[in-house]
Amino acid sequence: MRKVSIFGATGSIGQNTIDLIARDPTAYHVVAVTGGANIRQLAEDARRLRAQIAVTAYDDRLEDLRAALAGSGIEAAAGSTALVEAAARPADWVMSAIVGAAGLAPGLAALEQGATLALANKETLVCAGSLVLETARRHGARLLPVDSEHSAVFQALVGEDMAAVERIIITASGGAFRDWPVERLAQATVEQASSHPNWNMGQRITIDSASMFNKALEVIETREFFGIAPDRIEVVVHPESIVHALVGFRDGAVMAHLGAPDMRHAIGYALHWPERRELPVPRLDLARLGQLRFRDPDPERYPALRLAREVMARGGLSGAVFNAAKERALDHFIGQRIGFLDMSDAVAAVLDRFEDAGDLIDAPMTLDNVLKTDHLARQWVDDAVLRRAG
Ligand code: NDP
Q: How far apart are CA 237 and CA 165, in angstroms?
A: 21
Q: How far apart are CA 377 and CA 275, in angstroms?
A: 42
Q: What percent of the chain has pLDDT over 70?
A: 100
Specify the pLDDT at position 375: 96
Specify the pLDDT at position 94: 99
Specify the pLDDT at position 198: 85
8 lines ligand 1 (CB under 6 A): yes
Residues 205-246: tens digit of each pLDDT:
999 999 999 999 999 999 999 999 999 999 999 999 999 999
The answer to whether residue 382 scores a pLDDT higher than 90 is: yes
Q: What is the mean pLDDT of the segment spanning 4-21?
A: 98
Q: How confident is the model at residue 196 (pLDDT cuts 50, 70, 90)?
A: confident
Specify the pLDDT at position 201: 87
Residues 146-188: tens digit of each pLDDT:
999 999 999 999 999 999 999 999 999 999 999 999 999 999 9
Question: For residue 76, what are the CA distances in angstroms to 96, 112, 297?
Answer: 19, 23, 46
Specify the pLDDT at position 276: 97
Pocket test for ligand 1, best of 7, 13, 60 (most atoms within 8 A of CB): 13
Pocket test for ligand 1, best of 98, 173, 209, 265 (most atoms within 8 A of CB): 98
User: Helix H segments across the chain?
Assistant: 12-22, 39-49, 62-69, 80-88, 104-112, 123-138, 148-156, 190-193, 203-211, 213-226, 264-272, 286-289, 303-314, 318-334, 342-356, 367-389
Q: What is the mean pLDDT of the segment spanning 326-334?
A: 98
274 preceded by a cis bond (ω within 30 of 0):
yes
Q: Yes or no: say if 264 and 280 are a contact pair by the CB < 8 Å rule.
A: yes
Q: Which residues pair with 77 in a beta bridge?
A: 55
The answer to whether residue 111 scores a pLDDT higher than 80 is: yes
Question: For residue 77, what are the CA distances in angstroms to 29, 61, 93, 288?
Answer: 19, 9, 21, 49
Domains of the chain: 2-145 (3.40.50.720), 150-289 (no CATH), 315-389 (1.10.1740.10)
CA dihedral 330, 331, 336, 342 (to 10 degrees): -30
Residues 332-377: tens digit of each pLDDT:
999 999 999 999 999 999 999 998 887 777 799 999 999 999 999 9
Contacts of 40 (CB under 8 A, 6+ apart): 68
User: Is 209 marked as binding a ligand?
Assistant: yes
The answer to whether residue 20 scores a pLDDT higher than 90 is: yes
User: Is 38 marked as binding a ligand?
Assistant: yes
99 lines ligand 1 (CB under 6 A): yes
Residues 265-295: tens digit of each pLDDT:
999 999 999 999 999 999 999 999 999 999 9
Q: Which helix (H) or strand (E) holds 255?
A: strand 254-258
Mean pLDDT, all residues of the chain: 96
The answer to whether residue 390 scores a pLDDT higher than 80 is: no
> What is the DSSP pairing of strand 243-249 with strand 254-258?
antiparallel
Cα of 297 vs centre of ligand 1, distance in Å, is: 26
The answer to whether residue 259 scores a pLDDT higher than 90 is: yes
Specify the pLDDT at position 285: 95
Cα of 355 vs centre of ligand 1, distance in Å, is: 30
Q: How far apart are CA 48 and CA 72, in angstroms?
A: 10
Cα of 183 vs centre of ligand 1, distance in Å, is: 31
The answer to whether residue 197 scores a pLDDT higher than 90 is: no
Look at 361 and 324; give whichever has higher pLDDT: 324
Sequential DSSP letters for 89-143 = S--SEEEE---SGGGHHHHHHHHHTT-EEEE--THHHHHHHHHHHHHHHHTT--E
145 lines ligand 1 (CB under 6 A): no
Specify the pLDDT at position 187: 95
pTM for this prediction: 0.97
Q: How far apart are CA 222 and CA 133, in angstroms?
A: 13
The answer to whether residue 386 scores a pLDDT higher than 90 is: no
> HEC string of 348-376?
HHHHHHHHHCCHHHHCCCCHHHHHHHHHH
